[in-house]
A and B are shown apart, each in its own frame.
Chain A
Amino acid sequence: MNQRQHTMFYHFDIYRDLTYKEQLLKSKIELMEDLGQELLNFIKSETMNYKGDFVHAINASIEKQEEINALYHEAFRTSMKEQAIRYSEHINDMNGQRLTLYYEVVPMENDLD
């Protein structure tokens, strides 16, 4: 009997594209952005016809904050895309493993003998 071994690469699962996960969070970032815009529009329509009181100063700061938010929303959207690609690759990499197979080589017996 002859003992042998062989090392190979084996995929425990088929390739999975998990980049769709980007969309799950991106849609929420868009909702955050829409809500900010909704508040801004609301304030603008409310204060269109009168000027000069304390509300205006607060409105200006909300408006400024929304401008900053817009930059962050964009950056987060890009990050979410990258994170989804990164995760997808990590999972597919993890599913591929090296194996070592141990087996015996056994001669065939001739039944006619």
Chain B
Amino acid sequence: MRSLHSLFTLNLWGWLNLGSMEIFFSDELRARMLNLKKNEFTKDAIRRIYLEETGREIPAQMTLYHSEDYMNNFFKHKNVFDASIIHLFNEKSGINQVYYIIRGDFPKDGHSASKEKWLNLFTGIFVGKNNYEFHIADKFKNTIIQQIEERTKESHVSLVKIGLGYGLGGNTIQLLQFLTGDFDKVYTVNAVPTTLYQLAFIDSDFCQRLFYEFNLQTNDFDHLYTINPKMLEEFAEKYYNKKAQNMIHIVTEGNIFQSLTAIRGFFQIGKVQSIPSSININPLPELIGKIPDVLWKDLQVFLASYSDFENQVSETGFAKIVTGLDLSLLDQVISYDGWEDIINFEDVYSESSKMIQLMQTRLPLFLQLVEGTIQLIETKGDSIVKEGFISKKEFVSIMQELKDIKESLKKMENQTRFLSNTVLESDLASFKLLIKIFKNIKEEVKLITNKSKKVIVLSKPLHNSLRNSFHLLSLQNTIQLIATEKGKRYTKSGDLVVIQKQGDQSIRINVSSAIRIYLKGMEIYDEKEAILKRMKEIYLMEFVEDFEERKRKLLAKIEDMENRPWKYQYLVGNVSQNADYFYQLKKIHVHEEIYPLDASFQVVFENMFEYYEQEIEMGRERVNKIRKAIEDLFNTDDMVADSIKKAGYG
């Protein structure tokens, strides 16, 4: 430790064998890399963060790749996958490292998370019925790694591959490691754990082993949902255990994704680093753990029953998927009330019949799920109240509203059944009956909407708990918690603040701000230097060279005059005034009084240039003092040295 510290103090950073060390060696560095949004993920930002966290410049050349630049080549779902790759290379220092960074943000409140993310969580991960996230991630990885390997094929330093993932991205990076084993190390922050179902869907070898092991005499994937999930999870954990040897998960206690492991199918293997949370939250994860497996199974089977769930949701909306009800068709038919002559009579009938058929199959399934949920909440009511999520009175009101919703759904089901059992003719009477039934359904829809709103209002305390749990997920919060453990702090705007002891006093130093001033200063002096260079060029071109050019042209004219005097006959005229004589020009002599530019002329420019040169040099020195002070700060606190030691690369 002491020897490392001495090395830093002597500025012998470059003497360390950097190749054997991960450039982003600390949890803060990795979490801050993950926290950079795609538009913020620039070389400048990465350099700044590295400087803030280590007091030093990144000791390698950087190349960045962004998934969105390659998406068109891979897949049409542009919004879903969001990743970047950093390649760090320095042959001399033995550095050849690639960081694959997969983002997976869920906004703090959880509600505004994009539809695709929720769909990925439910249908891709929980049900295990979609694999496009994995395939894009794999294709992006392979494409870029191939490019990097091609570019560094002459290098003797082998490529070290490190995977980073947050949230849903944490799920994807684990999948990649489980299936390809490509990474030397994988780090996740508050990752969504993997499920055996998604792995069985993507990894055909695993799926085959699973079916063989559990003696499943069927090819039906959905059969997996009927097997005891704990047994399947244990098998999956053993199957992938080797690939998880170098996997480290940072988990803030109480975050919503942490609780997912209590749900069927989810499992997390690798080393887990729990970070205690400073926020006092309601034990939502515990509550999730108390939900009986049968309800999760019902939900899983329900979602799995729609093979193309995602495409249907994006095209027609949630209501149609779960109940079969097409609200716009309902409104269209109702709007014909009072008309005697409908032009597209046949079309309206045909569309309505299709909807009724769909509702007949979907509504009972949905109703079954709702009934199961109500039953569950009823049995768990006491513990929900006991945990302090809601009061007894609020609980009773919520139950009443939910039962009303169930009744409305039943009425809708009855109306639908009645319609499907009635033979409708292409006459006005039948059409009026259709309108009447649709009006009844519309009334129930209105009731359900109002009741749902009331449930949302009544369960507000539960929302707060959910919001807290989502807040704990956020990278900003996680970075703060990691930093607190190490005696550092980040401001709300993300600035790193270090507290330095000076005698009895503690001084707050905003390292991020100091680094920004340093970088801005360097940028300004670089620009000044470029301008000074341009000024010197202007002086040379517009005065020194311009003078020589004008002189050259003048001498050419003089030479012409002296060699061809007859061309200048007009200077003496042709004949005398009385026309007795004529003049014949024989020779011209130019006196050539050409003087160089005065020496003092040059001195004025030189003095100006010299002043600016010194000003830039002194400015750089001043700004460098800021960086030196930060470097000393890190050396004094042994922060960098500690981090390296903890990472096991000292």
Contact = CB atoms under 8 A, between A and B. Distances in A.
Contact of A106 (B514, B558, B584): B584
B584 A79 contact: no
Contacts of A104: 583-584, 586
A25 B539 contact: yes
Given A65-B619, A87-B601, A101-B585, A28 B551 contact: no
Contacts of B558: 12, 97
A107 B531 contact: no
A58 B513 contact: no
B531 A43 contact: no
Interface in A55-101: 55, 58-59, 61-62, 65, 69, 72, 76, 79, 82-83, 86-87, 90-91, 94-95, 97-101
B524 A39 contact: yes
Contacts of B576: 105
Chain A interface size, under 10 / 10 to 19 / 20 to 34 / 35 or more: 35 or more
Given A38-B524, A104-B583, A94 B594 contact: yes
Contact of B571 (A59, A101, A108): A101
Contacts of B598: 86, 90
A32 to B, nearest CB: 6
B454 interface: no
A14 interface: no
Contacts of B594: 94
Interface string A28-54: 100110011011001100110010111
B507 A53 contact: yes
Interface string B545-583: 001001101100110010001001001100110011111
Interface in A1-26: 2, 6, 8, 10, 12-13, 21, 24-25
Interface string B593-629: 1110110010011001001100100110011011001
Given A13-B554, A53-B509, A105 B581 contact: yes
A68 B94 CA distance: 46
A-side interface mostly: helix
Contacts of B582: 105-106, 108
A43 B581 CA distance: 85
A62 B604 contact: no
Nearest to B602: A83
B553 to A, nearest CB: 8
Interface in B623-642: 623, 625-626, 629
A106 B581 contact: yes
Nearest to B526: A35
A91 B597 CA distance: 9
A25 B591 CA distance: 35
A64 B507 CA distance: 25
A30 B615 CA distance: 15
Interface in B10-63: none
Contacts of A69: 615
B417 interface: no
Contacts of B561: 99
Interface stretch (B226-234, B340-348, B515-523): B515-523
14 contacts: A6-B572, A24-B538, A39-B520, A46-B513, A46-B516, A53-B507, A53-B514, A58-B623, A58-B625, A79-B608, A83-B601, A87-B597, A97-B554, A100-B589
3 tightest Cβ-Cβ pairs between the two chains A and B:
A102-B587, A98-B591, A100-B589
Interface of A: 2, 6, 8, 10, 12-13, 21, 24-25, 28, 31-32, 35-36, 38-39, 42-43, 46-47, 50, 52-55, 58-59, 61-62, 65, 69, 72, 76, 79, 82-83, 86-87, 90-91, 94-95, 97-108
Given A35-B524, A99-B571, A101-B571, 14 more contacts: A13-B554, A25-B538, A31-B531, A38-B524, A42-B520, A54-B625, A54-B629, A76-B611, A79-B608, A90-B597, A94-B550, A99-B591, A101-B572, A108-B581
